[in-house]
């Protein structure tokens, strides 16, 4: 068995460009996922608000209960039947963001519910509205507790983003496959692609760990 990494060296520009696209897709869907997750997580706090709770719960159930690939194909191949033709990149970001939002919402809900009930009572007793108490008192404490599970979610999102190569988006995975289709060096190129994903996920993990340490040092967490 001989390994020949020449195609990887020759194709490094394409791989670097692909990695950049992967970062773009992931960052954009991360942002969307966090916004959605925050809204849906808060919507699922109070089952007595039936409509809001019901819609949010339906969303989480559907997204968590169906494969991401099916959801991506629904957007990319399904929507055109209604004459909704979204660019591949938009479909990828929407699909990943909506998918991630369902998981982030559970992280948000769990973190908020883990904050002692007395915090809300103390804030409300001062005269704060529920929303203000949430913003000033509860969420800042909950966000710190969200960081470790969010780190896992971000890393999962980076890896899941490889699926958008199937929507013709020229991400890292897609660029790797293009090199293979010319060089037939599957093992070497996939190893290189795996290595770049590993770099991206490790870097993300490292940055999140630092963020958490800084928040702890700042006295935000006891």
Partner 1 sequence: MTAAAPIVAARDLVKSFGAHRVLHEVSFSVAPSQVVVVIGPSGSGKSTLLRCCNALEVPEDGTLTVCGTDLVRNGTLIPERELNALRMQVGMVFQSFNLFPHLTVLDNVSVGPRSLRRMPRAEAEALARDLLGKVGLAQKAEAYPATLSGGQKQRVAIARALAMQPRVMLFDEPTSALDPELVGEVLQVMKGLAREGMTMIVVTHEMGFAREVADVVMVMDGGRIIEEGPPEQIFGAPRNPRTRSFLQAVIARD
Which of 140, 181, 194, 207 binds partner 1 (CB under 8 A)? It is 140
Q: How far apart are CA 148 and CA 175, in angstroms?
A: 31
Residue 68 or 215 having the CB closest to partner 1: 215
Query: Does 65 help bind partner 1 (rule: CB under 8 A)?
Result: no
Shortest gap between Cβ of 163 and partner 1 (angstroms)? 38
Contact 184, 7 (CB under 8 A): no
Which of 2, 3, 184, 219 binds partner 1 (CB under 8 A)? It is 219
Q: How far apart are CA 97 and CA 100, in angstroms?
A: 5
Residue 49 or 132 having the CB closest to partner 1: 132
Query: Does 222 help bind partner 1 (rule: CB under 8 A)?
Result: yes
Shortest gap between Cβ of 218 and partner 1 (angstroms)? 9
In the region spanning residues 110 to 139, those forming contacts with partner 1, defined by CB under 8 A, are: 116, 118-119, 121-129, 132, 136-137
Contact 212, 202 (CB under 8 A): no
Token digits of residue 10 = 């020759």
Residue keyed to tokens 């020949």:
4
- Nearest alpha-carbon partner for 160 in 63, 58, 79, 80: 63
Contact set with partner 1 (CB under 8 A): 116, 118-119, 121-129, 132, 136-137, 140-141, 144, 219-222
């Amino acid at each position: 068995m001989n390994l020949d990494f020449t195609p990887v060296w020759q194709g490094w520009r394409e791989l670097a460009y692909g990695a950049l696209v992967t970062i773009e897709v992931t960052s954009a869907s991360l942002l969307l996922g966090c916004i959605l997750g925050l809204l849906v997580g808060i919507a699922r706090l109070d089952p007595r608000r039936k409509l809001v709770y019901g819609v949010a719960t339906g969303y989480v159930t559907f997204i968590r209960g169906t494969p991401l690939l099916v959801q991506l194909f629904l957007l990319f191949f399904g929507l055109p039947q209604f004459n909704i033709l979204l660019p591949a990149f938009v479909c990828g970001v929407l699909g990943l963001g909506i998918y991630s939002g369902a998981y982030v919402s559970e992280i948000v809900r769990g973190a908020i519910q883990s904050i002692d009930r007395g915090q809300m009572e103390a804030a409300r007793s001062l005269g704060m509205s529920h929303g203000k108490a949430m913003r000033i008192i509860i969420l800042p404490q909950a966000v710190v507790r969200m960081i470790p599970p969010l780190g896992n979610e971000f890393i999962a999102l980076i890896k899941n983003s490889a699926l958008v190569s199937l929507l013709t988006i020229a991400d890292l995975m897609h660029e790797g496959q293009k090199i293979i289709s010319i060089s037939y060096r599957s093992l070497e190129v996939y190893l290189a692609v795996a290595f770049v994903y590993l770099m991206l996920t490790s870097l993300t993990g490292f940055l999140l760990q630092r963020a958490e340490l800084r928040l702890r040092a700042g006295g935000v967490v006891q």
